[in-house]
Structure 1
Amino acid sequence: MKRDIRLAVLLLTVISLTVAMATAWELWAARERTLAKAYTHNLNLTQALDTYVEGIITQSSMLLLGLAERLETDGTTPAQLERLRHLAQRQQSLLNQLDGIVIYDANGNWLMVSNGNVPAGATSADRSFFIHHRDNPSTDAYIGEPIRSRSSGKWVITVSRRYNHPDGRFAGVISATLGVENFLQLFGKIDIGQHGAIGVTTSNGQVLVRYPFRQADMGRVLSRSPIFTGYLDHAMVGTASFNSSLDGIERIYAFRKNERYPLVTAVALGKDEALASWRADAVRTVAIAVGLLLVIVIIGILMILAIQRRIRTEGLLVAAREELLKANHQLEVLASRDPLTGLQNRRSFDDRLTAELRRAYREQSPLSLLLIDVDYFKRFNDTYGHPAGDDCLRNIGQLLADSVRRPGDLAARYGGEELAVILPNTDNAGAQAVAEQFLQHLWQSNLTHVGSPFGRVTASIGIATLPAGSDAPAAALIGTADQALYRAKGAGRNRLDNASSLSGSAP
């Protein structure tokens, strides 16, 4: 008695530890899945935003290229500048993010501005983008740091290009300014939570745009950020988790370096926000686990008390065991039947076919298989409804059972509207006779089917026979019958197809 109680206590301990460990593992796995989904979401956003920013820069660069070619070809006469101003205004209406276009001479003086008249004495000789083009002979587009526009006072990003005199000398700069506010309006429509952030920087960490917008971030360089010091040197795309160097909030980041321009797009979600739903689920899971453990403990106590009454009830348990054996036997019988048609089910079919293949090989006797498919049964269900379809299958199952009368034969529901018949010690001619008899009974039953070209329910049958002495496996026999069934359906349905004999390896 004491030994049984000790075993019960040990069992309770093992179960409790198992539940606790399983709960902890599930919580950890759910947390990892939640973070993985957040990383994937961020990566998808970076891809979309990277494409968006690249498209704007490319359109701006192409516009500057066209204007630069005109300047290099036609010069900077007042008439030419006026034509370019009108052209820029038309282009500006097609690119909403474009704040303005300005043309500068070799000394940085403003020659033309698309948004109005040139302010008196306006110069940008001190701007970093102008200095870059003045000192660098390259005519490639240059993405400058964010600056305040001297014409509108807004924060803008410059995309600029150098243009030259015919002899190659520096003639000036043409720049397109992209309004930071336009980018912020788009980023603000993206749900990144209360502590999320979206940023576009140059490849050296210079902040161009950051949402949410903070004045102090404009012009900040993030070259010492973990993304730039530990990730971008090794990969074009990646994810990370760390505390922001701007506000100290722990976020999960996804970043992507643009393949064409020196730009990096990053999307971040606050880690606490990303895990908020997981925490709520974790609380519920822990509550359920604690409740389950309490139930286990209560059940364990009751089990220990039951052990003490075991001897008194041992006779009843023996009787109950006998009843259980009888019930199990009945369940085994029921488990071999298909509840809808009353035929044998698929498991019973598979077991019997394996046994009959071995018997046929051992006794050197033939074995035949019929595969039956009800024609246009989906149309029947669509026309009359699934309850009527079930009734139809029950009728067909009864007809098949009436056609298969030998004790050793087996009729089964193979799956869906497919039926099967195993015919031991039956050659091809005998199998064909059984199939023809079933088709005749089904036709005579005249089950109405307006969706069938025959006007009544019909079936197609594929026949396969394993000749005496053959050692083909079950898959080969079923495959041959299935091919024959396919040919019968392809030939117009409401018919049978008699496959040739087959042979193979031992079943």
Structure 2
Amino acid sequence: MVTRRPNIVIAISIVLASAILAIAVWVLVQMRDDALRRAQDSVFNVSLLIERDVSRNLEIFDLSLRAVMDGLNQPDLMELKPQTRQMVLFDGSASAKDMGSLFVFDENGNVKFDSQASPPRDFNVADRDYFKVQRDSRNVGLYISRPFMPKARHKDISIALSRRISRPDGSFGGIVVGTIRLAYFHRLFDGMNLGPGGSMALMLRDGTMLMRRPYDPAIVGINLTGTANYSRFITQPSGDFFGTASIDGVERWYAFRQIDMYPLILDVALSTRDIYVEWRHRAWIIGSLIAALDATIIALAILFSNQLRRRREAEDELRELARTDGLTGLNNRRTFEELLDEEWRRAQRNGWPLSMLLIDVDSFKGFNDLYGHSAGDDALIAVAHSIAQNVRRPGDTAARFGGEEFAVLLPDTDEAGATSLAEQIRAAVQAHQVRHVASSHHVLTVSMGVATAQGNAIATSRALVNAADGALYEAKDAGRNRVMCYRAAGNVSIDDVAPAALPDSLPTTELRSDT
């Protein structure tokens, strides 16, 4: 009977092979999750250790600054002998390894007292950021500076911790400053085992890089404001995510935390390749044994199963690619038009309003010509991110309509709601501060047309698209960087009601690589 009906053997073989494969896959998935959890625990422990070490040393150094300030309040300080005065003002913390000098500067930035020299060395720091910040504000407290090359004899790149000296009347009387060599952070980072592809970075909260592993002197002092990873770092006190650092293109799992009460952000990252290296080795052994066992049971069934699985995965991937724009990750135009037809019919049945936003990046050809197509792609991604961050309601659809144009479909949304959302997107794009000198606004901006189908003013879905397109061109003609609403008798800008003048100039930040 088996000879006459070989399909029974094949069917039994497939069931048996599938059961064995399911068990093996479940075990491998559990092993993979365990590998990720172990790596995450390791990273959290490393980041906590680094945070505590840095926080403790900064606290000790800050206490030294406070001690100097207390010493300055001694009424008979200047009458003491120089050696005694040094002992009163300066403790031994400044002599620790990688700790620089403690200084007292007068209101003009000249050295008044020096922990390592009596009489003090002669130089001026009025041009340093830590002096200017303390001079211009009474309530800064402890300020951590950007990296700099000291003017004293030590020529290692350092940062400064400073506190303001205020006279009894509240006026500026100078500053107390302590320097820390970046070699301290370099050595601290090198002592941590993060694998071949791991990275670690310490930066100021304003995005200024202080130290990174793997170490590259050219990276110290750069500003990461506007980069994807930095944007995540500043959203919450601590967190984790998978990301790719454009500085080296390595995919990593990041854990970050803001250090205690100091304006510092620490991130520790493991390469996903390093996380799963042992798992891959074990998976290869287990997979080989399972494959050999399945091949023994029935080679043809295994081959058929694998081919069917690969075909299904390929079809799913092709289906997804057919619906998604490869650059921005938004829906493509074909998907948008399909959803537009569905929502139009639903809106007509239920009597709901249906709104559409048509978005165009201002002067994008000039941006491409000036900064190159790679920067243009980054700009489109930034615009898409701003749109996606604001279009969150279930049922709303965002898509790349073509080139530098984007579209948003808003079911059950009236004109006021659509206009409000459009203004949020416009402001979010401008807030990225992507430099665009060819634009009259000096930064990358978008113009938007808003159209709402409600009642009989717009008869078809194609008319809705045309109405939004007409409003968009009105926004372009009106000066760009604005939102215009479609009216049957003409288009109206939201600025026509309460015009908001843009500043003559805006600080701009170019897209840059992150850690």
Give 5+ residue unaligned stretches, structure 2: 302-515
Match of 1:143 in 2: 144
Is the Cα–Cα contact under 8 Å of residues 94 and 100 in structure 2 kept in the other structure? Answer: no
Structure 2: which amino acid aligns with 1:59?
Answer: I
Matched, 1:221 2:194: no
CA distance in 1 between counterparts of 2:284 and 2:90 reads: 59
Greater shift after overlay, 182-191 or 154-163?
Answer: 182-191
Tell me, yes or no, if the aligned pair for 2:105 and 2:175 is still in contact at 8 Å.
Answer: yes
CA contact (8 A) 2:229 2:245 kept: no
Amino acid at match of 2:8: L
**Cα distance change of structure 1 residues 20 and 169 upon mapping to structure 2, 3 Å threshold:** same
Match of 1:157 in 2: 159
Q: Secondary structure at the match of 2:201?
A: strand
What is the identity, as a one-letter code, of the residue corresponding to 1:260? M
User: Deviation at 1:118?
Assistant: 6.3
Check conservation: 1:39, 1:239, Cα contact below 8 A: no
Distance 1:10 1:129 in 2: 76
Q: Of the candidates 185, 190, 193, which is equivalent to residue 192 of structure 2?
A: 190
- Determine which structure has more spread, i.e. the larger CA radius of gyration: 1
**Distance change (3 Å), C-alpha of 1:64 and 1:93:** closer
Corresponding residue number in structure 2 for 1:100: 101
Mapped to 2, the partners of 1:12 and 1:41 lie a distance apart of 43
Secondary structure of 2:298's partner?
Answer: helix
Counterparts of residues 238-387 of structure 1 (less than 5 Å): 238-297=239-298
Percent of matched pairs sharing the same residue: 23
1:232 equivalent to 2:234? Answer yes
Q: Which amino acid letter does the alignment assign opposite residue 65 of structure 2?
A: L
1:226-254 C-alpha deviation (Å, 9 max, x unpaired): 34313531x32211121113322222111
Q: 1:13 to 1:89 in 2, by over 3 A?
A: same
Instruction: Determine helix, strand or coil for the equivalent of 2:176.
Output: strand
Tell me, in whole angstroms, the C-alpha distance in 1 between the residues paired with 2:172 and 2:254: 42
* 8 A contact 1:81–1:112 mirrored in 2: no
- For residues 274 and 79 of structure 2, the distance between their equivalents in structure 1, rounded to whole angstroms, comes to 57
Cα distance in 1 for partners of 2:202, 2:88 equals 29
Q: 1:88 to 1:26 in 2, by over 3 A?
A: farther
How many Å apart are 1:104 and its aligned residue? 0.8
- Asked if residue 10 in structure 1 is aligned to residue 8 in structure 2, the reply is no
Q: Deviations over 1:97-153 (max 9, x none)?
A: 422111111111112222235676411110000000000112611111121122111
> Contact between 1:193 and 1:269, CA under 8 Å: does it hold in 2?
yes
Contact 1:196 1:251 in 2 (8 A): yes
| Distance in structure 2 (CA, Å) of the matches to 1:204 and 1:287 | 51
CA gap of 1:272–1:126, structure 2 versus 1, over 3 A, is: same
Tell me: CA distance 1:39–1:8, structure 2 relative to 1, closer, same or farther (3 Å).
same
Alignment correspondent of 2:54: 53
Displacement, 1:81?
6.6
Normalised to the residue count of structure 2, the TM-score between the two structures is: 0.53
> Does the CA-based 8 Å contact 1:160-1:173 persist in structure 2?
yes
Contact 2:148–2:159, Cα closer than 8 Å, also in 1:
yes
Deviations 1:185-233 (A, max 9, x none): 1221111122222222122222222233211111112223434313531
3-state SS, counterpart of residue 137 of structure 1:
coil
Classify the secondary structure of the residue corresponding to 1:148.
Answer: coil
Other-structure match for 1:70: 71
Separation in 1 of the partners of 2:229 and 2:244? 11
- Counterpart in the other structure of 2:111: 110
Query: Which amino acid is 1:185 matched to?
Result: R
| Cα distance between partner residues in 2 of 1:282 and 1:242 | 24
Structure 1: which 5+ residue stretches go unaligned? 301-507
Q: Is contact 1:89-1:114 (8 Å) kept? A: yes
Q: Deviations over 1:414-444 (max 9, x none)?
A: xxxxxxxxxxxxxxxxxxxxxxxxxxxxxxx
| Cα separation, partners in 2 of 1:157 and 1:87, compared to 1, 3 Å | farther
CA distance in 2, matches of 1:82, 1:165: 25
Determine the C-alpha separation between the residues in 2 that align with 1:179 and 1:137. Answer: 27
The alignment partner of 2:188 has SS state of helix
The counterpart of 1:210, out of the listed 209, 212, 216, is 212
What one-letter code is carried by the residue in structure 1 that aligns with 2:174?
G
| TM-aligned CA deviation for residue 75 of structure 1 | 8.0
> Residue in 2 aligned with 1:39?
40
1:132 equivalent in alignment to 2:133: yes
For the aligned residue pairs, the C-alpha RMSD in angstroms reads 2.7
1:30 positional shift: 2.5
What residue identity is the alignment partner of 1:110? V
1:181 to 164, 180, 183: 183
Matched residues in 2 for 1:80 and 1:181: separation?
35
Q: Which amino acid letter does the alignment assign opposite residue 210 of structure 2?
A: L
CA 1:164–1:298: 2 relative to 1, 3 Å: closer
- Contact 1:134–1:170, Cα closer than 8 Å, also in 2: yes
Alignment partners' CA distance in 2, 1:92 and 1:242 = 39
* TM-score normalized by the length of structure 1: 0.54
Change (3 A) 1:78 1:126: farther
